Structure 1
Amino acid sequence: MKKLLVILLALFHGAALFAQDTTGNATISLAVVMPSEIKDLSDAQMSNLEDRIKDVVTMNGLSAEGGLDGFLIYPKLDINSTKTVQLTLGNMTVVQCTLSLYVRQYIPNSSSILFSSFTRDIAGNGNSEAEAISNALTQIRPDDEAFQAFLARAKTRIIAYYVQNCERIMNEAQHAADLQSYDKAFALLLSIPKEATTCYSQVQQESVAIYMKKQRQDCNRYILEAKTFAAAHNYDSALLTLRKVDPESVCRDELANVLNDVVNRVDDNDKRSWELLIQQLHDNTEIAKARIETEAQMAQGYLNGAGRKSYTVTGNGANPQIQEQQQPAGSMPVQTVSNGSGAPGGAAPVPSALLSATVLKPEVLFDNNIFPSFIISRAGSTISDDQSKYGDIYSCIGLAVNNPSMSGTLTYEIEPVEDKYFEKVTGSIAFTPGQPVVYFPEIPWKYDALKNIQQSTPLSIRFRLIDNGGAYRDVIAKVSVRSISECITSFTMGGKQEISATLAAYVNEENPQIDKILEEGLQKKWVAHWDGYQEGKEGIDRQVKAVWKLLSERGIHYSDITGATTNTSNTFTSQIVRPFCVALADKQANCVEGTILFASILKRIGLRPVMVLKPGHCFLAYRVADDDNGDLQYLETTIIGELKGEPSEKDYEDNYLKALTTGSSEINAAAKNEIYLIDVTASRMQNITPINLSGTCAN
């Protein structure tokens, strides 16, 4: 524990400072682009020239990685003369060259804009022409004042560009944030250099606003994950999760409550370290540094994935043809592998025309988010006829291929780069010209591994197309595998919004703690037996009332600190749902968790619970007869816990009746199209099975 805290405190002081240096000053990025070839230069010399240009760029305070705005630097090298000089000890070759460097901005479908240019003569000598050229390249030095002046002119004009385009860039960042592409938003904002003074101050304010917007979306989920870890006495993981919550976010009060609660739980040896962390969270300087660090990491992640642009330059002149490389986000170029019997010497086969012309696109449902709860709960589900043409869409991972001019069949492979969560799957996919084909193969998931995911984790998935000759194309998709406790509650498919029945998977009638609760009811003689529908309406009411009293006696009460929807996007909403045992141990539950507690017990005793969903709320119902069309009795579970002290039998009765009348009133007041019912028994018939989360609880 102490070692972990030392690391976390170092993150506050060290890593954030590094981010301040590298992103607070917003280094201008120039992509170093080399022509496809330069006459008389070997591949090694081309590489040497590229490295020297990168050194000139980086040693003069710029980045040579390239950014979002299309700024690039490229060379032109002309060998003007080559002559041989006779010396006493032998001949020497002398070359005279002219080096030109150009900084341009690439603009799609338009002429590129020249920002700065530079030309100088360089010369070299050696025992051969190749050696003479290599020696000439050594004259390209970062400390050369001529190179420094050239880059200073480029930098001045680029800063002016950012000032003039400040409003547009900020609007793009705001739009990206509205679409919840926060990494892209930060990448856009952090591209503004500090020297663009008037724009830079606006950017700082906007980056904080977007950061806090993301915190509003995420902090409840982090708090819930941390509380789950703390309930299981996994304080290291709880602390790492709380590190993600900004102390000035909307969750600040709950963050303080959780930290204080944990401090009261840990032993004296660890308490001082936790208290020190709490003190750090009140340091405004450290808070700002931590924000900068997070923003920089997200921006860098976007640039390393989808955002960083790369280019090709054709020709060795002042106005070459510049093209942006068009590859999918995170993709790799066409590669070849030997088929073991191809060209002489084991040469790799050339990609076929069919493979070269075929476009491969990964398809991962829910905006590249994988929900283990969705996958596990539907492990035994069957696909409807109208969806079967897409394969096993419940596997959530598929591919789309399209060839505009050719028909054929290619082999596909899908596998995790990190070799976890599922095994490699392979098959063949056929297509006709101009007709995109989308297919979701059956994925061999590692269900135990999915069930143990307690925090969102990144995963890279390799999608591969292979032709008959063994050549292949790879595309890497970067996805987020969400916590097993995160449930997708609605999603859009085929242009239509659907309510997900996955919540029914968190109803766990098989939880062993239920038997202890039911045994307690028998001992108190509140019921003679738990027999479901066998004793008619009075027997049903007696059993439900007994469950209400049992949970009331255990101190279960409604609390909204766990939040409602924790994540939204254009295509889905989701919510953290704590395990049955955690809600029971904490004695508090939000509307969803309270409904799941009751539904789990009612299902166990043979009744048919129904989860009632309406915008922003969830409560319980149960069928008064054992059939799909039986009438519903509504029960507002958030009423539980209103009783204080030592309630009498009449207090329990009145509290229970209030829950019944409140539930009925809510149904009567709601518009019909606002209500959605999840019949747990019907969901079981559709093979939506319980997720066993007992292993996440402390013994």
Structure 2
Amino acid sequence: MQCEKCHQTGSKQYLLLLLLFVFSLPIHGQLPKVLKDAGDVLKTGTETMRSLSGFIDATKRTTAQFNKSVKVIKSNTPASDVPADQVTKPKYKKGEFTNFKWEPIAYFDGQIFPSMVISMANYNGNIDDAFMNSVKSSALGFRFLSDKSYIPLKWEIESSDKSYFDKVSGDFMSQQAGQEVYFMPNIPWNMSTLTKQISSSPINIIFRVFDEDGNKSEKSIPLFMRSINDCIYRYHEQKFDFLFTAFIQEQHPEIDKILKEALNTKLVSAISGYQGDDVNTILQVAAIWKVLHDRGFQYSSVTTTSTNSTNIIASQAVRTFDNSMKTNQANCVDGTVVFASLLRAINISTVMVLTHNHCFLGFYTSKKKNKILYLETTMLANSDIIDQVKTPSKKNQAYVDQFMQAVRYASNKEYPEYKAANDLVEIDVDYYRNFVRPLPF
């Protein structure tokens, strides 16, 4: 029987030879920014209001046009801060206000994505982009345009289903005549309810605007609450693919069990992240691979959401780490989420490589992030190499070979082909974790 130390030495020598070829691949360009530049073309579903005769119904405004024309605010100047002689009283006639126009805002084709609401609820970064500030998190609010400055109003947003949220209200001051304003208040969503939203269902939201005399204008719009597993990754031309990182759950309690099993494989003497050399990092990933393989993980191609993607909006059903552990099933995105969760737990940095029809994992082999390997997680259930080995002493080597088969396929074939076709984006999980919180489990 081969001792543990000799086995690890032999595995390292074997892997070093393989890595001479794999690491000959060029290191790739800069990782993506948190948001695309404001100049990217984006149809917003609205158009600039040019007069108080009504809102223009158009779908051709670009991000640059939106950012130039629209002011997005989360809070408002109190009416008490404005001199009384500058305040303009709202005018009301026949059930409508006449010296300003307003309409409710509900982005994403009238659909609410709990995964987006939860993952961006505590966003604390700076988005220097008016449009992104208007859509992040719940994307519910008001659109105002007035022909006079400093018009004081009161507002309410109410959910007909109180389990999502009850009612939120406050004051609004329309400050500048002719300035299109998107007022996007924080919505007090019941996060526990959103987390349990496993199927899609209709929801009605009521928007109200009042004046101090009690005159009221009310508009109700039907929306569609999507499943917690539905991840929006494109809205018109704007990409939201960084939201896939919300499904990575590096603090899940099952991870400790898997890491203990990985240590028991004897492929490594410790689960230590980057405390060893490149080969030690790779052997840790291989040990995790062996554990999941032996647990019977299977590829499952289910990606369809409750509502089909359109040319306006695109989304995909994604299993969280918790979902995949309970079902032992994963599609390409799910498998990448599983490995990213496990590797982040031991401080190994990962990227999600997204193409127009596929997803696979990238992981850095050292803390310097100067070398990266890619892994095809859908090959997790493959056993052609393992099944050929009959003696226990050679079994672990066969697992390493099987694992490296998936590494070579992703690193030497998939990545170069997608890269040459200009059909991939790399989502740096460490970077986006600064902005996108993981979904609860």
Q: 1:484 Cα deviation (Å)?
A: 0.9
Amino acid paired to 2:123: S
Over residues 132-160 of structure 1, what are the superposed CA-to-partner deviations in whole Å (9 max), with x where a residue is unaligned?
A: xxxxxxxxxxxxxxxxxxxxxxxxxxxxx
2:111 pairs, out of 348, 351, 369, with 369
Structure 1 residues 259-274: aligned runs within 5 Å: none
> Counterparts of 1:441 and 1:392 in 2: how far apart (Å)?
11
| Structure 2 residue matching 1:427: 3-state secondary structure | strand
Give the Å deviation of 1:647.
6.0
C-alpha distance in structure 1 between counterparts of 2:277 and 2:306, whole Å:
38
Q: How many angstroms apart in 1 are the aligned matches of 2:233 and 2:388?
A: 36
Correspondence for 2:403: 656
Q: Is the 8 A contact 2:303 2:316 kept in 1?
A: no
The answer to whether 1:607 aligns with 2:348 is yes
RMSD: 2.9
Are the equivalent residues in 2 in contact too, given 1:565–1:573 (CA < 8 A)? no
State the distance in 2 between where 1:562 and 1:392 align: 24
Identify the match of residue 242 of structure 2 among 501, 507, 511: 501
Query: 1:542 pairs with 283, 286, 290, which one?
Result: 283
**What does 1:422-441 correspond to in 2, within 5 Å?**
422=165, 423-441=167-185
The one of 449, 463, 467 equivalent to 2:207 is 463
Please report how far the alpha carbon of residue 405 of structure 1 lies from its aligned counterpart in structure 2 after TM superposition. Answer: 6.9
Instruction: Determine which of 666, 669, 692 is the counterpart of 2:440.
Output: 692
Match of 1:675 among 424, 428, 433: 424
Contiguous gaps of at least 5 residues in structure 1: 1-325, 329-348, 694-699
Residue 160 of structure 2 is aligned to residue 417 of structure 1: yes
1:385 — aligned with what?
128
Deviation at 1:488, TM superposition (A): 1.1
- Aligned residue runs from structure 1 range 526-565, under 5 A: 526-563=267-304
Instruction: Say yes or no: does 1:356 pair with 2:103.
Output: no
Distance 1:661 1:616, change over 3 A: same
Could you tell me which residue of structure 2 aligns to residue 514 of structure 1? 255
Q: Where do residues 613-632 of structure 1 align in structure 2 (5 Å cutoff)?
A: 613-627=354-368, 630-632=370-372
Does 2:218 align with 1:474? yes
Residue 551 of structure 1 aligns to a residue whose secondary structure is helix
Q: Distance in 1 between matches of 2:414 and 2:307?
A: 24
Displacement, 1:675?
1.2
Separation (CA, whole Å) in 2 of partners of 1:668 and 1:389: 32
SS in 1 for 2:216: strand
Structure-1 residue corresponding to 2:19: none
Contact 1:452–1:484, Cα closer than 8 Å, also in 2: yes
Distance 1:479 1:420, change over 3 A: same
Q: Secondary structure at the match of 2:296?
A: coil
Deviations 1:185-207 (A, max 9, x none): xxxxxxxxxxxxxxxxxxxxxxx
Q: Once the 2 structures are TM-superposed, how far is the Cα of residue 619 of structure 1 from its aligned partner?
A: 0.4
1:564–1:616 contact (8 Å) kept in structure 2: no
**Cα pair 1:431 1:437 within 8 Å, conserved:** no
2:377 counterpart residue number: 637
SS of 2:152's equivalent? strand
Question: Does the Cα contact within 8 Å between 1:425 and 1:444 map onto a contact in 2?
Answer: no
Hey, what does 2:151 align to over in structure 1? 408
Distance 1:575 1:411 in 2: 38
Q: What per-residue deviation string (whole Å, max 9, x for no partner) do you get for residues 241-296 of structure 1?
A: xxxxxxxxxxxxxxxxxxxxxxxxxxxxxxxxxxxxxxxxxxxxxxxxxxxxxxxx
2:338: which partner in 1? Answer: 597
Contact map agreement 2:199 2:306 (CA 8 A) in 1: no
Other-structure match for 2:82: none
Segment of structure 1 superposing worse, 518-527 or 544-553? 518-527
Inter-partner Cα distance in structure 2 for 1:663 and 1:458: 41
* The structure with more radius of gyration: 1
Q: Aligned residue for 1:97? A: none
Q: Give yes or no for contact 1:400–1:439 (8 Å, CA) kept in 2.
A: yes
Query: Counterparts of 1:164-313 in structure 2 under 5 Å?
Result: none
Q: TM-score, normalised by structure 1?
A: 0.46
Deviation at 1:538, TM superposition (A): 1.4
Alignment check: 8 A CA contact 2:232 2:315 kept: yes
Partner amino acid for 1:387?
Answer: A
Q: 1:417 to 1:356 in 2, by over 3 A?
A: farther
CA distances 1:582-630 after superposition (whole Å, capped 9, x unpaired): 3234332110111111111111111012111001100000122325x54
Match of 2:198 in 1: 454
* 1:608 to 1:523, Cα distance in 2 relative to 1, 3 A: same
Residue in 2 that maps onto 1:53: none
Alpha-carbon distance between aligned partners in 2 of 1:355 and 1:390, rounded to the nearest angstrom = 27
| Distance in 2 between residues matched to 1:469 and 1:691, nearest whole Å | 44
Aligned-partner Cα distance in 2 for 1:513–1:477? 41
1-structure distance, mates of 2:152, 2:227: 37
Corresponding letter in the other structure for 1:670? Y
Question: Equivalent residue of 1:399, what SS?
Answer: strand
When residues 676 and 425 of structure 1 are mapped into structure 2, their CA distance, relative to the original with a 3 A threshold, is farther
Q: 1:459 to 1:647 in 2, by over 3 A?
A: farther
Task: Give distance in 2, aligned partners of 1:418 and 1:497.
Answer: 30
What letter is aligned with 2:434?
A: M
Q: What is the Cα deviation at residue 490 of structure 1?
A: 2.1
One-letter code aligned to 1:445 = W
Aligned match of 2:34: none
- TM alignment of 1:333-348, pairs within 5 A: none
Whole-angstrom distance in 1 between the partners of 2:340 and 2:116:
19
- Letter of the 1:663 partner, please give it: A
**Partner of 1:689: helix, strand, or coil?**
coil
Name 1:166's counterpart in structure 2. none
Distance 1:436 1:610, change over 3 A: same
- Tell me the equivalent position of 2:40: none
Deviations 1:342-392 (A, max 9, x none): xxxxxxx99369823432211112111111111111122134133399568
8 Å CA contact 2:101, 2:146 repeated in 1: yes
Contact kept in structure 1, 2:301 and 2:332, CA below 8 Å = yes
By how many angstroms is 1:654 displaced?
2.7
Worse overlay, 474-483 or 497-506: 497-506
Identity percentage of aligned residues: 33
The residue type paired with residue 668 of structure 1 is P
* Residues 563 and 356 (structure 1), Cα distance of their counterparts in 2 relative to 1, 3 Å cut: closer
Offset at residue 437 of structure 1 (A): 1.6
Residues 441/350 of structure 1: CA separation in 2 closer, same or farther (3 Å cut): closer
Unaligned runs of 5+ in 2: 1-53, 57-89, 390-394
User: Normalized per residue, which structure has more helix?
Assistant: 1
Q: From the superposition, tell whether residues 625 and 425 of structure 1 become closer, same or farther in structure 2 (CA, over 3 Å).
A: farther
- Contact 1:390–1:438 (CA under 8 A) maintained in structure 2: no
Give, in angstroms, the shift of residue 558 of structure 1.
1.8
1:360 and 1:530 mapped to 2: Cα distance? 58
Kindly indicate whether residue 423 of structure 2 is the aligned counterpart of residue 666 of structure 1.
no
Q: Which residue of 2 aligns with 1:129?
A: none
Provide closer, same or farther for how the CA distance between residues 639 and 388 of structure 1 changes in structure 2, counting only shifts above 3 A.
Answer: closer
SS in 2 for 1:516: helix
